[in-house]
């Protein structure tokens, strides 16, 4: 599709809170929406919010949300002119982007060529090496043997990191501290990479001690214009999965921000990139930054950038895909205030954060100044077992970091979800931690925090939770009362089923 004619109907090839987020953006722009859903998602919020909804198969993602043929068939039958992939599932699948193009349907994202170039971490490193982009010392091709791994590790120096070339989310990743650990770690990483991505290619790079993980948001239109929109601090991670993100980073000054932004734009231009993308960097203790990878899609944490720039990234994605030029230049981009996002998961903090499916019997929602919620859940909904357990995102915004923290702390104590376990208590602990409040962060921060006892748990008075607990007890004693609590009508839900650990297969990084 050429020109700049705005779409009349868009299909959202996703589920959960991101599908709801895109549906809302389309509605604001006067665009009709088409949802797709698996059997267990029949009563999901994105199905309720869309103008049309079509079933695409069983609960397992490989038979529904990952079925390109079924999604394209729905697009054809519904008359959708474009597909927004959200994140996870098919969002970084170059074959799907090409299939959309072949079917005459606009893929709201980069071109297949750009996705292929940046989709392989080793391939991306080779391209960035040619473009003069700084990256962590290591190999730009997969390791051919254990002997080669030992040779490279000996050259760059231990510790080193083994990484799968074809994916992320911590799969196929191993930290190796000594030569004696290397061979077994390589075999383990290759095996996990093969199971997770169907590709056993693993490369090696120097492990930066106590790095920060900082990323830069970029936008590029189809007319050659590329801008950076500020950084996000993503160092708070568990098992290589981001947990809490904020913008701007506590350590990035204006000069460092400009330099990172300029490098990010060079990366995007080298890849001939269009639409929204994110350049990820590792930052060492001396504030040197190194290219890590590019995420060729919208990020889970995009709301913190929206709040600090005043720009709607989903609106802009759609406008770029329709052929419009960016309506602003780099000099128009201003970073104001501070935003922090918490990823609310259905998981049990008292059981090693094991996923916790089930029916949401009561939902008390936070609101008030500076609070944003991007959510895919409602009271009475049954959280399925088959997908990543991300329920919602709670974002606090303030004129400065301290105000954002205070508002988010208050909102977390207003947030109450009954019937399942959530990680809300984890964020309460993080936000009151002295190191977090001082901005002393790195990718090992959360492991250190969780290894310590929390002295405030027993001492803290229960008053802030009394109302929520009382309401929960009332709901249990009088189940019929939840039918209209908070204005939510009761909905048909699936019977609870046996839970199986599924991991984070969608790769929501």
* Residue 337's CATH number: 3.30.470.20
Q: 1 lies in a domain?
A: no
**Spatial distance between the Cα atoms of 407 and 68, rounded to a whole number of angstroms:** 42
Of 108, 127, 156, the residue that ends a domain is: 108
Contacts of 294 (CB under 8 A, 6+ apart): 118, 124, 267, 268, 271, 273, 277, 278, 279, 280
Residues 298 and 328 in one domain: yes
At 32 the three-state DSSP class reads strand
| Numbers of helices and strands, H then E, in the chain | 17, 22
Backbone phi and psi for residue 341, each to the nearest 5 degrees, phi listed first:
-115, 135
Residue 38 has pLDDT above 70, yes or no: yes
Backbone phi and psi for residue 41, each to the nearest 5 degrees, phi listed first:
-100, 15
Q: 499 lies in a domain?
A: no
From the list 125, 67, 61, 114, the residue with the least C-alpha distance to 92 is 114
User: For 310-349, where are the alpha helices, taking DSSP H only?
Assistant: 313-321
Q: What is the 3-state secondary structure (H, E, C) of 280-301?
A: EEEECCCCCEEEEEEECCCCCC
Q: 56 lies in a domain?
A: yes
Q: 330 lies in a domain?
A: yes
Domain of 181?
Answer: 137-206
Instruction: Tokens for 425, please give them.
Output: 């208590």
The mean pLDDT of 175-203, rounded to a whole number, is 93
Of 206, 236, 265, the residue that ends a domain is: 206
Contacts of 207 (CB under 8 A, 6+ apart): 158, 159, 160, 161, 175, 176
Contacts of 209 (CB under 8 A, 6+ apart): 159, 284, 285
Q: What is the pLDDT of residues 75-120, one digit of tens each?
A: 999 999 999 999 999 999 999 999 999 999 999 999 999 999 998 8
Of 407, 439, 454, the residue that ends a domain is: 454
Question: For residue 163, what is the domain's CATH number?
Answer: 3.30.1490.20
At 371 the three-state DSSP class reads strand
Residues 74 and 163 in one domain: no
Contact yes or no for 278/218 (Cβ under 8 A) = yes
Residues 331 and 424 in one domain: yes
Beta strands in 119-253 (DSSP E): 160-164, 174-176, 202-206, 212-220, 226-238, 241-247
The mean pLDDT of 452-464, rounded to a whole number, is 63
Neighbours of 509 (CB within 10 A): 25
Residues 276 and 419 in one domain: yes
Residues 371 and 393 in one domain: yes
Name beta bridge partners: 359: 382
Torsion of the alpha carbons at 277, 14, 202 and 232, rounded to the nearest 10: 40
Residues 243 and 201 in one domain: no
Per the prediction, the chain carries an average pLDDT of: 90
Minimum mean pLDDT range among 72-86, 163-177, 289-303: 163-177
Q: Choosing from 21, 212, 297, 504, which is the catalytic residue?
A: 297
Beta strands in 122-177 (DSSP E): 160-164, 174-176
Q: 259 lies in a domain?
A: yes
Residues 256 and 319 in one domain: yes
Contact yes or no for 195/266 (Cβ under 8 A) = no
From the list 153, 209, 206, the residue with the least C-alpha distance to 179 is 153
Q: 370 lies in a domain?
A: yes
Residue 497 has pLDDT above 70, yes or no: no
Residues 219 and 353 in one domain: yes
Residue 498 has pLDDT above 50, yes or no: no
Q: In whole angstroms, how far apart are CA 74 and each of 68, 99, 140, 346, 417? A: 10, 14, 40, 30, 34
> Global pTM?
0.86
Q: How confident is the model at residue 362 (pLDDT cuts 50, 70, 90)?
A: very high
Residues 420 and 343 in one domain: yes
Structural domain total, the chain? 3
6: buried, middle or exposed (CB in 10 Å: 19+, 13-18, 0-12)?
Answer: middle
Residues 104 and 160 in one domain: no
At 343 the three-state DSSP class reads strand
Residues 293 and 145 in one domain: no
Residues 26 and 59 in one domain: yes
Here the contacts of 183-189 (C-beta below 8 Å, separation 24 or greater) are 183/146, 183/149, 183/150, 186/143, 186/146, 186/149, 186/162, 189/162, 189/163, 189/164
Question: For residue 18, what is the domain's CATH number?
Answer: 3.40.50.20
Q: Is 460 a catalytic residue?
A: no
Per cent of the chain over pLDDT 70 is: 88
Q: What is the pLDDT of residues 472-487, one digit of tens each?
A: 555 555 544 443 333 3
């Amino acid at each position: 599709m050429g020109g700049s004619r705005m779409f009349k109907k868009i299909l959202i090839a996703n589920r959960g809170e991101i599908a709801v987020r895109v549906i809302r953006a389309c509605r604001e722009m006067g665009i009709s929406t088409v949802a797709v859903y698996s059997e267990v998602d029949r009563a999901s919020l994105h199905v309720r919010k869309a103008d049309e909804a079509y079933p695409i198969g069983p609960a397992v993602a490989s038979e529904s949300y990952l079925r390109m043929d079924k999604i394209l068939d729905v697009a054809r039958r519904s008359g959708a002119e474009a597909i927004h992939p959200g994140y996870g599932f098919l969002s970084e699948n170059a074959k799907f982007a090409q299939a959309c193009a072949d079917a005459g349907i606009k893929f709201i994202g980069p071109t297949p060529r750009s996705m292929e170039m940046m989709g392989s971490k080793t391939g991306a490193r080779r391209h960035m090496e040619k473009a003069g982009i700084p990256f962590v010392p290591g190999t730009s091709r997969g390791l051919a043997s254990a002997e080669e791994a030992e040779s490279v590790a000996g050259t760059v120096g231990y510790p080193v990191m083994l990484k799968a070339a074809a994916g992320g989310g911590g799969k196929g990743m191993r930290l190796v501290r000594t030569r004696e650990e290397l061979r077994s770690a390589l075999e383990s990483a290759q095996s996990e990479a093969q199971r997770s991505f169907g590709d056993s290619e693993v490369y090696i790079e120097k492990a930066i001690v106590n790095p920060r993980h900082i990323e830069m948001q970029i936008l590029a239109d189809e007319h050659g214009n590329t801008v950076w929109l500020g950084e996000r601090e993503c160092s708070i991670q568990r098992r290589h999965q981001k947990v809490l993100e904020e913008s701007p980073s506590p350590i990035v000054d204006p000069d460092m921000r400009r330099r990172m932004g300029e490098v990010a734009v060079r990366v995007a231009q080298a890849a001939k990139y269009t639409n929204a993308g994110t350049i990820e960097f590792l930052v060492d203790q001396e504030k040197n930054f190194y290219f890590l990878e590019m995420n060729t899609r919208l990020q889970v944490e995009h709301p913190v950038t929206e709040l600090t720039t005043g720009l709607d990234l989903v609106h802009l994605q759609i406008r770029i895909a329709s052929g419009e030029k960016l309506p602003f230049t780099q000099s128009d981009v201003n970073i104001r205030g501070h935003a922090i996002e918490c990823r609310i998961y259905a998981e049990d903090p008292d059981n090693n954060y094991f996923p916790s499916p089930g029916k949401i019997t009561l939902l008390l929602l936070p609101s008030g100044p500076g609070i944003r919620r991007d959510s895919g859940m409602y009271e009475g909904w049954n959280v399925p077992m088959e997908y990543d357990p991300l329920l919602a995102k709670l974002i606090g915004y303030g004129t400065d970091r301290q105000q954002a923290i205070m508002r988010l702390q208050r909102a977390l104590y207003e947030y109450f979800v009954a019937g399942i376990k959530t990680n809300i208590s984890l964020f309460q602990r993080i936000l009151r931690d002295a190191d977090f409040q001082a901005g002393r962060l790195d990718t090992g921060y959360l492991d250190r925090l969780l290894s310590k006892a929390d002295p405030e748990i027993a001492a803290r008075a229960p008053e802030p939770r009394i109302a929520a607990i009382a309401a929960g007890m009332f709901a249990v004693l009088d189940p019929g009362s939840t039918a209209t609590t908070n204005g939510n009508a009761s909905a048909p839900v699936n019977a609870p089923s046996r839970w199986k650990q599924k991991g984070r297969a969608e790769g929501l990084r």
